């Protein structure tokens, strides 16, 4: 049991995001002095927030934005005054150095669907956000997408949730050097396979222990949980 838990702990530790936290202020994130050659940056801080609206970049100026801390679940942050269900739009302007290597975003899932635009171009999506549940589609997947623009990036994030008891963004978007970001993605996939293999082999081990050993039902339930998880 100890070696099994140790393997899971080591794999989980390697899967952690080691990006530097970059804080936006007033909807602007200044990364003009960032070193993208060896570092990646988590995009946190104060973003523009438009509750109840699904807006594109050219529509933002027609609406007054609130300033809120990103990321934050709608129903866990009192300042948002927002339940778990509904729609909202976030925006932030990212100032990049004049010269950068090729970059990529790691975009996590959000509860429960989103569209992410960069300078008016849709670069990532999960499901389909819409004002009505019948028109929207939920989906959960972390994506790595290329940044094909330079200078200033204007991100617009539309989120809709009608299904989950949590709503809104809960993980950071990360920006970094493209090759390193895809390497992190592949490493994460490899760790997922390692964890799945550990769980499956552990499940078989404890199933054999139940069949040929004490036949304790707790061991049987644990083995079945590991195999089907």
Q: What is the average pLDDT score of the chain?
A: 86
What does the DSSP assignment read for 64-119? PPEEEEES--TTT-GGG---SSEEEEEEEEEE--SS---EEEEE---BSEEEEEET
* Separation CA 176–CA 103 (nearest Å): 6
CATH code of the region 18-178: 2.60.120.260
* Separation CA 176–CA 216 (nearest Å): 50
Is the pLDDT reported for residue 171 higher than 70?
yes
pLDDT in tens, 181-208: 888 877 876 777 777 788 888 888 888 8
Confidence (pTM) = 0.79
Helices 217-228 and 178-212 pack at an angle, to 10 degrees, of 150
Task: Report, in angstroms and rounded to the nearest whole number, the Rg of the chain calculated over CA atoms.
Answer: 21
The pLDDT-based confidence of 57 (bands split at 50, 70, 90) is very high
């Amino acid at each position: 049991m100890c070696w099994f838990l140790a393997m899971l702990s080591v794999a989980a530790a390697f899967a952690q995001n080691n990006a530097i936290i970059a804080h936006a202020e007033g909807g602007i994130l200044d990364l003009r002095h960032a070193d993208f050659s060896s570092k990646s940056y988590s995009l946190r801080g104060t973003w523009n927030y438009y509750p109840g609206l699904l807006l594109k970049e050219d529509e933002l100026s027609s609406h007054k934005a609130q300033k809120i801390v990103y990321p934050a679940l709608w129903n866990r942050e009192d300042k948002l005054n927002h339940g778990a269900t509904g729609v909202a739009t976030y925006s932030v302007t990212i100032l990049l150095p004049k010269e950068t290597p090729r970059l990529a975003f790691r975009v996590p899932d959000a509860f429960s669907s989103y569209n992410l635009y960069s300078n008016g171009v849709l670069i990532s999506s999960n499901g389909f956000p819409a004002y009505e549940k019948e028109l929207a589609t939920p989906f959960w997947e972390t994506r790595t997408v290329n940044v094909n623009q330079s200078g200033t990036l204007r991100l617009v994030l539309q989120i809709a949730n009608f299904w989950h008891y949590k709503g809104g963004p809960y993980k950071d978007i990360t920006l970094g050097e493209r090759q390193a970001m895809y390497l992190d993605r592949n490493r994460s996939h490899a760790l997922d396979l390692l964890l799945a293999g550990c769980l499956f082999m552990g499940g078989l081990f404890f199933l054999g222990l139940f069949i040929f050993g004490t036949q304790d039902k707790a061991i049987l339930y644990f083995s079945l949980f590991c195999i089907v998880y």
